[in-house]
Structure 1
Amino acid sequence: FSITDRTPWALPILVEEGYLYDSSIYARFQPSGKVGMRRCVQEIVTTAGPICEIALPTANLCGIQLPTPGGGYFRLLPYSASRMILRQFEKTGTQFVMYLHPWEIDPDQPRMEGPVISKLRHYLNLERTEQRLQYLLRDFAFAPVANAIQPIRDMCQARVEGGAAACAVIG
């Protein structure tokens, strides 16, 4: 995902541009065992001010850690796998962000030349994405992040006041 250990400079820019929240980081376990991001929402204090980071959680599917089934994961995995992961999140009360890129619901888009693996990653199951999205909306309840931002900020603040390490400082 776009914000990593190599790109912490991006978060202050988002704050400067007026963003209140971001979801460009996903919770994952790095090979060293160090947690890349908590599996929860947290407020990150940058040099430009605070931003709520709504990390994309990961789930264990048959022994494999996978990020939230959105984008390519949602398109490439069978819908039953996505549903299983999201049910795990429901059972544990884990908030998650679902995302799709607009091109992923356009099976008639022009096909570009390129390596076979790139073409598979980009075009495989495009014709199924819209139907899978309909299943998803039938099987789960969603709300826009904007509707949840104040409760999220309140939760961040409560964790800080309660002594929990809910904030990180990003230069």
Structure 2
Amino acid sequence: MRRRDEDEFTEFAALTMPRLRRTAYLMCGDWHRAEDAAQDALVSVYRRWNRIERGDGLLGYAHRCVVNAVLTQARRPWRRERLDDITDESTAPLRDAVGAVDDRLLVVRALAALPPSQRACVVLRHYADLSLEQTAEVLGVGIGGVKSQTSRGLARLRELLDQTVRSTP
């Protein structure tokens, strides 16, 4: 790789790593796994750096790589534990004064309960702020599939969050 390409990639990686890591976190609910997935995604981008068009497709390709990395991690046998499985009374977070942390954890747990395709659509559409077309391209599905998976995912999130709110004292 030429020095100029190395510099471009380094700049791209520095700018997009936080965003890719947050996207991965919302998909898997674990910061360590999110860090691994974001790094795996950047390795994939680096390998194809000379062949990727540098326009709008670059960020979309990076998102596709991070989604694939999270889904690949989830299929590994040692990664099949869920956030609910590892959280118990002794490790439950304390409520903070304004409730922001608690609310965020509730949303992350609700996202973790969604099937992977619904979770990916919701995260890419509403957190990563990708358009329908970009999300469809990243996931390799049609626009109709993105619409239906997003709709189902949001409906399920509402149910899960509503149940949580009702059960909270």
TM-score of the superposed pair, with normalisation by structure 2: 0.29
Larger proportion of helix: 2
TM-score of the superposed pair, with normalisation by structure 1: 0.29
Larger proportion of strand: 1
